[in-house]
Structure 1
Amino acid sequence: MELLVATPGSPIQHARTAKRAVLAVAICAMTVSGLPALGAEHYEGEAYAATGGEALYSESHWRYDDDGVATGLVLYRCPDGSPFARKHIRATANAQAPDFDLLDARTGYTEGVRGSGDRREVYVRTSAGAPERTAALQDHAELVVDAGFDAFVRDHWDVLNGSATSLAFVVPSRLGAMKFEVSRVGAETVDGRPAQRLRLALGTWYGGLLPHIDVVYDNATRHLLRYEGTSNVRDASARNVVVRIEFPPAQRDSQATAADVAAAATVPLTGTCPLS
């Protein structure tokens, strides 16, 4: 398959389309391998507006083993604590390309990647009343899906110390993958921990003119400490919000129980926060 979604028209039209696509990309802080043998690993993320700094929402993450399959669950909450969206992640043979399903109950928006046998597809539905759109998705060495970016970073950590590395990141709203490049920006310290800042940008001649995503990973643990860029959460105008998400190491533990996971997986999604 093409790594860059083809669009008709001039380079300017390509740039506009690519900008909409990059605004739909969000790398979520969920690792889908190396799970603890007992219990579920749990950690929190706090999302703030990129400009202004007000709290927008929070993310509660769990990762655990489900009959030998690395599995993840993310619950999104409004500032008042009410949950409004949920994401399920399930590992595949390709650690960089898990299956996932995201549902935002405020509008009925859903997106994801699913597989049956040798066939995989990407899908999106923009609202509860809208039809679901799907497209076939071919797995390959450069394909990265959602939380699989963490596996990509771990596998390419040393390579990223040099030149930019290409990947094909799945953008559900475009029903396909787009070619991006990941490069190391430099070293910094977050919460007293030595870390590395990486940048994800479109791998095109006009990519430098478009928004990018920065992620900061702990040198020692390879855990995500900070995310800066466009979220997979939308505001009241159906635009992906631009955020800074902090993942405090102090709020990461492996003491969550099966009951905690079950509660997060079944709690009604009642939040209505507009996030605008």
Structure 2
Amino acid sequence: MKPGTSALLALLTAAAPPVAGAVFEFSGTARHEGKVLYEEDHRVEGTCSEGVFAPVDHQVSYRNPESGDEFASKSLYYNSSAFRPQVEFRQPRFGEALIITYAQDQTLDIVWRAPAGGTREFTVPFDQRLVVDSGFDYFVRANWEQVQQGESVEFRFLAPTRGEHYGFVLEPATSVKVNAEVTVQIRPTSLVLRFLVDPIVLGYSSDGALTDYLGLTNIRQDAESNHIAHIRYQVSRLPDCELTR
């Protein structure tokens, strides 16, 4: 080792503080008209960056409420943005699989194996306003202060099985079905889509943990339609840093 090298290495190590790992775990129960449809188990591994949780790897297991058997799974990898994870979703009992990857900085690729059979592939350009899948959760937290002050925030939301994204707005909301410390909704901005797609209502605790999801889910009721459900979440493990600030 050259003279001074060990001192330089020591200086560089001291100047680059380690990024602490963190784990966030929670579970959900999906109901419709009082009937339990399924249960979800979530484990998110991430880092604490400047005191705020940043996701890296998110694993979801969807289970039968009676047997506890897994019938679907989802893996999300937040390689470049908390709003736009890479997604791998599988629902074997319908033969469905959905994979979303990012080949370029502003282009994503979708491969969807549909329940009806056959595979569809899309290449979709996007900009920084795009939100994908569970990225909505981190989008809400990123705009936490604005929404609590009564402001609305517009964004684009990916409809992966259509190979397109559409204009949506995040805004404060009230709901007789969701009793949460903070309640928001995301809804389409297009008048046409408003007739076709109901708003998704979200409930949060004051510290930024998701407590309620009310709306269309990614779990199939049959080969033609997905469940509409009210999912109530409970946190079993919080990361060693804040979810929002």
TM-score by length of 2: 0.77
Q: Is the 8 A contact 1:229 1:244 kept in 2?
A: yes
Question: In 1, Cα distance between the equivalents of 2:74 and 2:153?
Answer: 28
Q: Aligned residue for 1:64?
A: 45
Measure how far apart 1:252 and its partner are: 3.7
Q: Is the 8 A contact 2:39 2:63 kept in 1?
A: yes
Pairing 1:175–2:159 present: no
The one of 24, 41, 54 equivalent to 1:41 is 24
Measure how far apart 1:141 and its partner are: 1.7
> Alpha carbons of 1:46 and 1:69: their partners in 2 closer, same or farther (altered >3 Å)?
closer
Measure how far apart 1:167 and its partner are: 1.1
| Higher RCO (C-alpha 8 Å, min separation 6) | 1
Measure how far apart 1:208 and its partner are: 4.3
Q: Aligned residue for 2:51?
A: none
Unaligned regions of 5+ residues in structure 1, if any? 1-34, 256-276
Question: In 1, Cα distance between the equivalents of 2:226 and 2:239?
Answer: 31
Question: In 1, Cα distance between the equivalents of 2:170 and 2:37?
Answer: 27
Q: Is the 8 A contact 1:224 1:247 kept in 2?
A: yes
What SS does the corresponding residue of 1:37 show, helix, strand or coil?
strand
Measure how far apart 1:92 and its partner are: 2.7
The one-character-per-residue Cα deviations of 1:249-268 (angstroms, maximum 9, x if unpaired) are: 3x34569xxxxxxxxxxxxx
> Alpha carbons of 1:254 and 1:241: their partners in 2 closer, same or farther (altered >3 Å)?
same
The one of 172, 177, 191 equivalent to 1:184 is 172
Unaligned regions of 5+ residues in structure 2, if any? 1-18, 48-53, 241-245
Instruction: Report percent identity of matched pairs.
Output: 24
Q: Is the 8 A contact 2:44 2:55 kept in 1?
A: no
Question: 1:153-168 alignment to 2 at 5 Å?
Answer: 153-160=140-147, 161-168=149-156
Q: Say which is worse superposed, 202-211 or 106-115, in terms of deviation.
A: 202-211
What SS does the corresponding residue of 1:247 show, helix, strand or coil?
strand
Question: In 2, Cα distance between the equivalents of 1:237 and 1:130?
Answer: 10
Question: 1:1-276 alignment to 2 at 5 Å?
Answer: 37=21, 40-49=23-32, 52-65=33-46, 70-79=56-65, 80-118=67-105, 119-127=107-115, 130-160=117-147, 161-186=149-174, 195-210=181-196, 211-219=198-206, 221-249=207-235, 251-252=236-237
Aligned residues: 212
Structure number having the greater strand percentage: 2
> Alpha carbons of 1:91 and 1:165: their partners in 2 closer, same or farther (altered >3 Å)?
same
The one-character-per-residue Cα deviations of 1:144-200 (angstroms, maximum 9, x if unpaired) are: 001111111111112223342211111111112111111101499x88xx6211111
Question: In 2, Cα distance between the equivalents of 1:176 and 1:206?
Answer: 15
